[in-house]
Structure 1
């Protein structure tokens, strides 16, 4: 959803000097782009919470971690996000401006682009994305994964009554391999997500700091390159995740191959019936 809504329309916006799409799409696209960005990060946070419960409270959380509660958690989270981003969609519009004697237009927050919004309003917009789209979910995710990894590495396994037994269980090759796989996957997902989204959040932060000036006014062409690069890097994270899971997780690879095999069998069966 994030790649489908963000990448094509951002590419069109960069490629043309004017907003070539219908005016109403400006509000809709920004509403869905912001919403999908929050969907991505808070889904990762919910996944972290699920893994934390599975590892740290495997028995106690058995009744809590079920498909019904998962759907409820997702519906509540996504509904709150959709409601919170309505105002973001409303304040976006097509902004007409002149650049080196050339008439141009872009989809943006007109009041901020013109410098008419108050400093408080502008900073609420920029800093809210920093806090609720990066710092808070990343902080929660890191704490949950830290507790999970601590539990995996330092909690004695059942049956390890003595220190000798505990040490032998911990040092078993299969146990060590399993710990390393989980640790590697967790660290890769969190670190890559944090790195990919950090430059864009930095741009948002400094945009709020320098307002009513803009980063382009302060830094010129290099800032434009940095802003575009930071946006591309953030989008790249959604491209990297499936590749990352496939490289690191055996279960992901097996599940993906199973889905492909089932789909291929169904297509073959349907083709056979059609010929019959």
Structure 2
């Protein structure tokens, strides 16, 4: 049984900080579940698989942000949404290593970092999913409601919508800021045998949810997964299905090769979203419904192991978003190639410092920005 599983078991015994003294016959005591399967998966998925996800997500989303900052500029609603998705995913993968560490070990970074970590994790999760729903809505307006799109698809509207989404995600994440606390669990069971006190593992600081009473704990442990399922998955899923189904129907009526090619892109976007998030959310729903049912150790261990695997698959989506939404566009791929071309040119210039001063370097970077702006065309990166 891992350290964090033992702490969670102790935290589930009571929500107060007092020691409980009892006299038990050691033969009557039943040891806690070992969760061997879930622990084995966590030791592999945590350090290794999540590291790959963090690396790929960091590189892909950073390239999207750099491209918008130096080359493309945001000239449509979809561009604004794509930039915000990249920011949310980047912050998500930056927080993921600390989340993994917190789940495997004790938390040494203090109460402020604990609340910021869990709160930002929740904010980025909600905002990223809702931004994807906004991209599908923008594509619906641009293609299905093309006659009305000029009045509805303005940059000012997109900025207001993005601000509202970030604020809404912050409001949904308030429980994470409130209930996640950095504390030293002191609710270990003390067993008095022959007058000698034998305590459990020495308490260490953890960053976990802590409640004042069992009623608050019950309501919160049901409400938080329910909100995550409703707002963080089913709402974006329903919006994407409706919008992209309408887009596909409209594109199929057009006798144009590019439009039919775009249908494949839409199908891939929806399928990847469902494959990544549907298994995890179904498992989370089942886990929430059966949260207070009694089950044997093997069953609970199996369910937690499945939840760990499905959650990792859901995390993969933050790596795929740059490919599906940004790099799939022809113009965005051109900007992406230009980044490496310009970086290669700059590196060659710096290898000959006598012929290339710092002033020339600044001039060259400004030229890159101007050339990127000139080569950019009005339109969306998610080219249909």
Under TM normalisation by the shorter chain, which class is it?
0.7 to 0.9
Q: Look up the SS of the partner of 1:111 in the other structure.
A: coil
Match of 1:25 in 2: 113
Match of 2:242 in 1: 143
Report the Cα offset of residue 183 of structure 1. Answer: 1.6
Pick the aligned partner of 2:151 from 40, 63, 76.
63
Deviations 1:195-242 (CA, angstroms, capped at 9, x unpaired): 212233234323321234588967343333223222221211101222
Contact 2:110 2:182 survives alignment (8 Å): no
Worse-matched range after superposition: 218-227 or 207-216: 207-216
Match of 1:108 in 2: 208
The TM-score normalised by the length of structure 1 is 0.78
Q: List runs of 5+ in structure 2 lacking aligned partners.
A: 1-89, 190-198, 361-384
Worse-matched range after superposition: 263-272 or 45-54: 263-272
Q: Look up the SS of the partner of 2:316 in the other structure.
A: helix
Residue 358 of structure 2 corresponds to residue 274 of structure 1:
yes
Pick the aligned partner of 1:238 from 314, 318, 340.
318
Matches within 5 A, 1:146-157: 146-154=245-253
Match of 2:85 in 1: none
Residue 129 of structure 2 corresponds to residue 49 of structure 1:
no
Structure 1 pair 262–78 and aligned structure 2 pair: CA distance change class (3 A): farther
Match of 1:124 in 2: 223
Once residues 150 and 330 of structure 2 are traced to their aligned partners in structure 1, the CA distance between those partners, rounded to angstroms, is 23
Report the Cα offset of residue 49 of structure 1. Answer: 0.9
Once residues 147 and 344 of structure 2 are traced to their aligned partners in structure 1, the CA distance between those partners, rounded to angstroms, is 38
Residue 93 of structure 2 corresponds to residue 4 of structure 1:
yes
Once residues 181 and 269 of structure 1 are traced to their aligned partners in structure 2, the CA distance between those partners, rounded to angstroms, is 41
Q: Look up the SS of the partner of 2:226 in the other structure.
A: helix
Deviations 1:116-173 (CA, angstroms, capped at 9, x unpaired): 535444322111110000001110111011111111112xx5xxxxxxxxxxxx2xxx
Match of 1:163 in 2: none
Contact 2:277 2:313 survives alignment (8 Å): yes
Deviations 1:44-94 (CA, angstroms, capped at 9, x unpaired): 111111111111122321132122221111112112221232233111124
Structure 1 pair 73–125 and aligned structure 2 pair: CA distance change class (3 A): same
Match of 2:272 in 1: 192
Count of residues in correspondence between the two structures: 255
Match of 2:365 in 1: none
Report the Cα offset of residue 263 of structure 1. Answer: 5.5
**RMSD across aligned positions (CA):** 3.2
Q: Look up the SS of the partner of 1:117 in the other structure.
A: helix
Q: Look up the SS of the partner of 1:107 in the other structure.
A: strand
Q: Look up the SS of the partner of 2:270 in the other structure.
A: helix
The TM-score normalised by the length of structure 2 is 0.58
Q: Look up the SS of the partner of 2:208 in the other structure.
A: strand
Q: Which has the larger radius of gyration?
A: 2
Match of 2:59 in 1: none
Contact 2:92 2:121 survives alignment (8 Å): no
Contact 1:41 1:137 survives alignment (8 Å): yes
Match of 1:209 in 2: 289
Deviations 1:173-210 (CA, angstroms, capped at 9, x unpaired): xx13x133212221222221222122332343233212
Q: List runs of 5+ in structure 1 lacking aligned partners.
A: 158-169
Report the Cα offset of residue 253 of structure 1. Answer: 1.7
